[in-house]
Structure 1
């Protein structure tokens, strides 16, 4: 077991810290997160452990930070959806692009590992996805009422989204079998969903 970090004030995280922590994501696609040590993370980030301890106290804190930064970037979709719905000019490509960007460099195996070993980081993702599901449900309702979308059961559409978002994204067996990335699967799903909905 590695040494515990000394309890002291941490430096404020900046853009550089954001960059070198996010650069971890492609390297963690197939890693068993539960077995990683601070030494391993330091090596993967190409930083000394003392540098990492200037900003982070634990591995959990690193994963929470990476997750929060990615989710904050994804929250752009709310503004995009709201603006397009109000103009009755919805284009699924906007949402697909934003969500595919959010899935970039992340594998379903990584998400499954995160859920299992770092529940506080997973909770950040879960909260974001729950909000996204609600927003999509409102989008379907408004789109159908406005005549932009075909009249299809909103409950069915929401259930399909719930399965895709809450279950499929952590089903690494599916991704191994299909040789698809999470990013391309998100794009394909959005294409199928919204091309089928548009009048």
Structure 2
């Protein structure tokens, strides 16, 4: 049984902490997150456990922080979508690049484990994904209205997006069978969708 952390004021997280917590992601692609201890995380981050406890109280807090940092970076897509909608000038490649960068060093297995063992961290991802679905809906509505996209069923498009965004990205068996990465799958999906929609 691991020791409980001492209740004390934690240090503020700076760029250095952001870097060494993000650097752990490639090492977690195939790890069972439920079995990881604070000792394991400290080893994976090449930090002492006492250093980890200077910034974090629990494993949950570590995973929530790692997730929030990545989601904050991903929120760059919001500006991209908004400006493209306003200018009626869609460049799916830029949006695909933002989303694939957000998936860098992350596997479907990792996301599945995160959802199972760290609901607080998964909620951060889920909130982002539901926001993305809302933004896609606006993009489809404006694109069809302004004759940029083919007049296809928006409900169908959103159902496909919902499946891809909320189910496929955690479907480890699909990625094991196809040998695709999360990054390449996002890129291909965006290409197929937007090239198919363009008039």
Q: What TM bracket, shorter-length normalisation?
A: over 0.9
What's the counterpart of residue 146 of structure 2? 146
What's the counterpart of residue 74 of structure 2? 74
Instruction: Report whether the alignment pairs 1:23 with 2:15.
Output: no
What's the counterpart of residue 38 of structure 2? 38
| Cα separation, 1, equivalents of 2:118 and 2:165 | 19
What's the counterpart of residue 99 of structure 2? 99
How many Å apart are 1:132 and its aligned residue? 0.2
Structure 1: tracts of 5 or more residues without a match = none
How many Å apart are 1:147 and its aligned residue? 0.5
What's the counterpart of residue 63 of structure 1? 63
Q: CA RMSD in A?
A: 0.4
* Cα distance per residue 1:94-133 (max 9 Å; x no partner): 1100000011100000000000000000000000000000
* Cα distance per residue 1:64-83 (max 9 Å; x no partner): 00000000000000101110
| Cα separation, 2, equivalents of 1:84 and 1:121 | 30
| Cα separation, 2, equivalents of 1:84 and 1:161 | 19
Q: Normalising by the residue count of structure 1, what TM-score does the alignment of the two structures yield?
A: 0.99
| Cα separation, 2, equivalents of 1:38 and 1:74 | 27
How many Å apart are 1:4 and its aligned residue? 1.0
Length, aligned pairs only: 199
Q: Which stretches of structure 1, 4 residues or longer, exceed 2 Å deviation after superposition?
A: none
Q: Secondary structure at the match of 2:185?
A: helix
Instruction: Report whether the alignment pairs 1:5 with 2:2.
Output: no
What's the counterpart of residue 120 of structure 1? 120
How many Å apart are 1:51 and its aligned residue? 0.2
| Cα separation, 2, equivalents of 1:46 and 1:4 | 21
Q: Normalising by the residue count of structure 2, what TM-score does the alignment of the two structures yield?
A: 0.99
Q: Secondary structure at the match of 2:55?
A: coil
Instruction: Report whether the alignment pairs 1:159 with 2:165.
Output: no
Instruction: Report whether the alignment pairs 1:171 with 2:171.
Output: yes
How many Å apart are 1:84 and its aligned residue? 1.1
